[in-house]
Amino acid sequence: MDQQPAVFVGDTTLVVIGILDDTEREPVLLDAIIIPNGAARGLFGLLAPAEVQIRTEIGATRLIGEQAAVALSPNDPSLLRVSLPPEPKAVKEQVASDVNTLFLVLGGVALLVGAIGIANVTLVSVLERVGEIGLRRSVGATRRQVAAQFLGESAAMGFVGGIIGASIGVLVIVVVSAVPQWTPILDAWVPLAAPLVGAAIGLVAGLYPSWRAASLEPIEALRSGT
């Protein structure tokens, strides 16, 4: 006993009988002194511990939580409040839900940026091809045909963009999964639906430029294009 180190709490000498090697669950214990319950009652007049932590096996948390209050205070279990940590499955589902929400938001932003880009490109194309539009109108093309032409072009850009984006996405998933030797899992409909979604976004983005092209008068378009 004389060979063991000791610490002092006020005027009380306490012999060190061990040192914790893991404080990951409770970092506050890193600079704390742990005293047995009986010694704390005798030396410092502790009536009862403020908190009791129980480490359980995986899957037994709920069962132990239901029995802990009765085991620690059989005369009046209502004096104790039991707090259970979340189940690993629930935590995993919550993390997966948050990640999915984040990717949905990022996907929505990417679609919005893509739609704006297609709209700008199509609008610039309309402004640069005013003479062509006037010539087509003068030889008998209707407003609907002119509008359909630019809608088709914007939809085609969206379709090609969807193919490129889906290909890059699949490639990134495969590469990221290969590094830790995971098995990549991807729904087959995702890469197939991406070009269709891109075409739909392109179609919507081309509405205003196509309307702008269809509203040009043939004479004014020919004058502006010369």
Residue 178: predicted pLDDT:
83
Residue 226: predicted pLDDT:
56
Is the per-residue pLDDT at 68 higher than 60?
Answer: yes
Give tens-digit pLDDT for 10-20.
Answer: 778 888 888 87
Q: Judge residue 14's burial from the number of C-beta atoms within 10 Å of its C-beta, 0-12 exposed, 13-18 middle, 19 or more buried.
A: middle
Q: Would you list the DSSP string of 127-190?
A: HHTHHHHHHHHHTT--HHHHHHHHHHHHHHHHHHHHHHHHHHHHHHHHHHHHTTT------THH
Give tens-digit pLDDT for 101-120.
Answer: 888 888 889 889 989 999 99
pTM: 0.60
Please name the residues in contact with 33: beta carbons below 8 A apart, sequence gap of 6 or more: 7, 9, 14
Give tens-digit pLDDT for 197-214.
Answer: 999 999 999 999 999 888
Residue 179 CA to residue 203 CA, distance in Å, equals: 38
Is the per-residue pLDDT at 143 higher than 70?
Answer: yes
Residue 2: predicted pLDDT:
60
Is the per-residue pLDDT at 151 higher than 90?
Answer: yes
- The candidate with the shortest Cα–Cα distance to 123, out of 219, 226, 215, is 215
Contact 61, 82 (CB under 8 A): no
Is the per-residue pLDDT at 146 higher than 60?
Answer: yes
Residue 209 CA to residue 205 CA, distance in Å, equals: 8
